[in-house]
Amino acid sequence: MRKYRLSSLIGSTLVLLSSCFVLQAAENSAKDLKTILLKQGKTIVSETFDQDSNTIQGWAKYGTQWKAVDGVLVGSPSPLEYQQSHPGKLSGENPRMQVNVPGCKQGFILKFDFKADKNVGRASFWLGHHRFKLLIKDNQPFLQHFQSKKKVITTALKPINGPMKDNQWYSVIMETHSTHRAVQISGFEPLTVQAYTLTKISPVRFSGSKGEKLQLDNFLFIEGAGLR
């Protein structure tokens, strides 16, 4: 879990700003988001990235660099030498990771926090081989899903407090059950849709903007326990 530092708070505003800071941290925690589609069952994967491990290192894809630093998982592009020797989509120019998860007959719940170091040109968080994806493009989140075997639908989430801001934590919860999909991201209205059934559950995958750093925290993969 990421470390919060209050050293920049000074003078008589310390108490007030400290309170606001704690409130903001709580609002930006994926663990605090409530499901709208599924009841929560068994937690299958839980990681707060308090320390690095071989497991975390094993999530990296295409030579990209992922490491737990100060309580968060920081992803960076692959080294230039790797990119030159692996041209194309597998070059690792985008920070990319993959977490293997089992199939869940009663659906699944994915929770996590993320932050980009600057404007998110393009980032993706998906499961089901692109069939259920939270897509961030130019600081605007979208839900992308298959309506049929070949028809892909992309729907923008409606902002509550304006567009996403640079270098700020956002919390996400993604839920799926049969043909039901739901996605929430802090600062935007929740969105639910009917979608094409996932034929199988593939690994959870994360992909950041080209050449940028991506930070993750409070990663939870939870088995669904049926519809609410």
Q: Which domains does the chain have, with CATH numbers?
A: 35-227 (2.60.120.560)
C-alpha to C-alpha distance for 174 and 169, rounded to whole angstroms: 17
Cβ atoms 129, 196 nearer than 8 A:
no
Among 207, 153, 216, residue whose Cα is nearest residue 183: 153
- DSSP alpha helix (H) spans, the chain: 14-27, 54-57, 80-85
Q: pLDDT band for 2, please (50, 70, 90 cuts).
A: low
Cα–Cα distance for residue pair 130/152, rounded to 1 Å? 10
Model confidence at 170: pLDDT above 90: yes
Is the pLDDT assigned to residue 137 strictly greater than 70? yes
Instruction: Please report the pLDDT score of residue 131 as a whole number.
Output: 75
- The pTM of the full predicted model, rounded to 2 decimals, is 0.83
Centre a 10 Å sphere on the Cβ of residue 224 and count the other Cβ atoms it contains: 22
What is the pLDDT at residue 73? 93
Q: What is the per-residue pLDDT for 3? A: 60
Mean pLDDT along residues 87-98:
88
Residue-averaged pLDDT of the chain = 81
Q: What is the pLDDT of residues 18-60, one digit of tens each?
A: 333 333 333 457 777 889 999 999 999 999 999 988 888 889 9
Q: Which residue has the tokens 């998906």?
A: 126
The more confidently predicted of residues 2 and 190 is 190
**pLDDT value for 156:** 95
Q: How confident is the model at residue 142 (pLDDT cuts 50, 70, 90)?
A: very high
Predicted confidence band at 123 (pLDDT cuts at 50, 70, 90)?
confident
The two tokens of residue 9 are: 């708070």
